[in-house]
Structure 1
Amino acid sequence: MSAAIRVLVVDDEALICSFIEDALCDGGFEACSVHSGEVALSTFRDGREGCRALLTDVNLGSGISGWELARQIREITPGFPVIYMTSASAPDWKSQSVDGSVLIEKPFTPAQLAAAVSQLLDTGLSPG
């Protein structure tokens, strides 16, 4: 059995991170959760976590936004899979997002989240 794909999860709210970790786990993924864009960037640059996708809230409090985080990660690794989560910033997605990204609007179900990650990564998992 191959190791689960690790997803770098960025949200400044611990409860939401916990919900996302459970949803990803149920979907067959692993979550590496951080609470700010700056920590996410250093975690990504460090590379020890081996994350294969970014799942980020757009509004991350006082630091860099999810939009900016994704752009910086794409400068390091072009084409890196990005999923944005937002409630209020959905209208900005077309102008602010990186190419080929996915947006899921809060609130979402665990199944919607796992499906978005699977679709973006095209993990090739065939339905049971």
Structure 2
Amino acid sequence: MATELPIILVIEDDDAIQAIVEDALSEGGFQIATVKTGEEAVTLLKGGLVPYRALVTDVNLLGRLDGWEVARAAREVDPHFPVVYMTGGASDKWPVLGVPHSILLQKPFAPAQVVAAVSQLLNAGSQQTSPA
């Protein structure tokens, strides 16, 4: 009797950071799908073939789209889609460019912080959708 683990889409072009985030989320009880560009992520999110439960994205990405734009695309698909941003230097732009009800992690962060951030957003989302 296998329980479906929530699938988290991770966008990170730095292999070392991607490995840390993947390990932390796996140990936290999540399945992970990883891509290196915003374009790949938007294609997956809009394709709707996999029921992703949250997005963990670096802000500065390879390709044309940055993490801010990917998060906005995710919110076009689902207005309440949980988003966790990771950045080394763009945290000052989060209040202007970040989507509402998202979390920003400043690099370097402890691996447990990404698990806590995703869990917090998923828990908040399940409270929003539960009947009053």
Give me the TM-score of the superposition, normalised by structure 1: 0.90
For 2:23, the equivalent position in structure 1 comes to: 22
- The percent identity for this pair of structures is 44
CA separation in 1, counterparts of 2:26 and 2:119?
Answer: 12
Q: Give structure 1 stretches of 5+ with no counterpart.
A: none
- Residues 40-119 of structure 1: matches in 2 within 5 Å? 40-119=41-120
Residue 58 of structure 2 aligns to which amino acid in structure 1? Answer: D
CA separation in 1, counterparts of 2:87 and 2:42?
Answer: 19
Higher helix share: 2
SS at match of 1:121: helix
Report the RMSD for the aligned CA atoms in angstroms.
Answer: 1.5
The runs of at least 4 consecutive aligned structure 1 residues that moved more than 2 Å come to: none
2:38 touches 2:67 (CA, 8 Å); kept in 1?
Answer: yes
**Would you say how many aligned residue pairs link Structure 1 and Structure 2?**
124
What's the CA shift string for 1:14-40, capped at 9, x where partnerless? 222111110100111111100000000
Displacement of 1:78 in angstroms is: 1.0
For 1:2, the equivalent position in structure 2 comes to: 3
Q: Give structure 2 stretches of 5+ with no counterpart.
A: 127-132
CA separation in 1, counterparts of 2:12 and 2:91?
Answer: 16
